[in-house]
Every structure is written in C-alpha cells, then in structure tokens.
Structure 1
C-alpha cells in the first residue's frame, strides 16, 4: 500500500494539516492538504498546502518568504489529521504578521488579541 493511501481524505480529497513549531510546540496554523500537496511537502521538505479559497497549491512563503521547513510529519490514530513539525523561517506564520494564526484568546466573554504583530502585513505582501 502507498503511504498516501493510509490517509482518510475527506469528500473533497483533503485532510487538515496542523503546522507546529518543532522547538516550542506552538501551533502556528491549520491548513488543508490534498494528495499532491502532501507528496510535494515530503519531496521538497517544506510546507505545501491546498488553498481552498484560491483552488490551487500554496507553497507556504511563496509570497511572504516565510517558508516552513519540514522537520517531522505525523498522522493521527484515525488517519484523518496531519501534524507538521516545522521550522518557521522569519518567525511569522500568520498573514497578519504574527508568529501564529492563533493570536486571540478568549477572556471574560470576548476574544482578546494577545500576540504582537512582528511585521506589518502591508510590508510583507507589497506587490
């Protein structure tokens, strides 16, 4: 059996992929992968995802330079979620210019922004 066949792809041929800092363990982002994205991630040793909004492959960092170097890949017990242990180049995973996409914490009935912006997104995505 091909290693890709062990994955339980959803009806759209996708599987959720959690990117986690390989040193700190912090969850940086969650994205989706199709078979091609996962195969390319392994062969290129970098985070490559399927963009549902753009309906195409998305090499993390292709515009921002914030590439994710793959350190380890894991599949959960049900075969339907991936965890990518990555080295996040530039220290920014979120399009908002923050380290992580999970920068809001629930406190007292509301979401509070608790992580600083490391770089203005307009500087990151100037084109």
Structure 2
C-alpha cells in the first residue's frame, strides 16, 4: 500500500471536520473552483476518481455532476505538508460555476 493511502487513513482520526480543496484544470492549469470536503468525501474521490464535496449550506455530500452531468474526472490529487488542504487536478472543460461559467475565478480587482 502506498504512502498516500496511509495518510488518508491518518486523516480519519483528525479532529478537523472539513478541508478546503482547489480544483484545477489539467491542461490549461486554470483554477476552476474551490470547495470543501470531509474525510469520507476524500476517500470517495480517491477511489472513484470523481469529485465529491461537502456542502456547508445543505450539510450533506455533493457529488459534482450528479444532476448536471458536469462530472470532474480526477487525474491527480495533491495535498499540503500538514494534510489539511488539497488540490484536485481534473480533466474538465465544462461549466463549473454557479453562474454558468467554466471557472468561478473570472474577475479581477
């Protein structure tokens, strides 16, 4: 079993309930969205290679593309040094934003 699996199982015992995840496009390297996940969403995303998040407003699991068919296929999963934030690199060019845009990050200050 590789080191990543051990680190995931280590996460199941952490006290922190949800973690931020940044979703990035594989080819264009554009940031598509930021979301939240818990330990079980992380395991589901890892084993099924499809993004699954935690909805803070609805307090339930949210599988990206379940109703919209905008499924994000995970190609790579990265995490920071203390394993409390993640980066999912996905193969997706569909509309990910609530405003029917490809990315949620479209505006400059």
TM-score range, shorter chain: 0.7 to 0.9
User: CA–CA distance in 1 between the matches of 2:13 and 2:84?
Assistant: 5
Contact in 1 for aligned 2:32/2:96 (Cα 8 Å): yes
Three-state SS of the structure 1 residue aligned to 2:42 is helix
User: Can you give the 5+ residue segments of structure 2 that lack an aligned partner in the other structure?
Assistant: none
Task: Write the distance in 1 (CA, Å) between the matches of 2:13 and 2:107.
Answer: 30
2:94 to 86, 91, 95: 91
Which residue does the alignment assign to 2:59? 55
The structure with the larger Rg is 1
RMSD: 2.0
Q: TM-score, normalised by structure 2?
A: 0.86
* SS in structure 1 of the partner of residue 108 of structure 2: strand
The count of residues paired between Structure 1 and Structure 2 equals 104
Q: 1 or 2 for the larger relative contact order (CA 8 Å, sep ≥6)?
A: 2
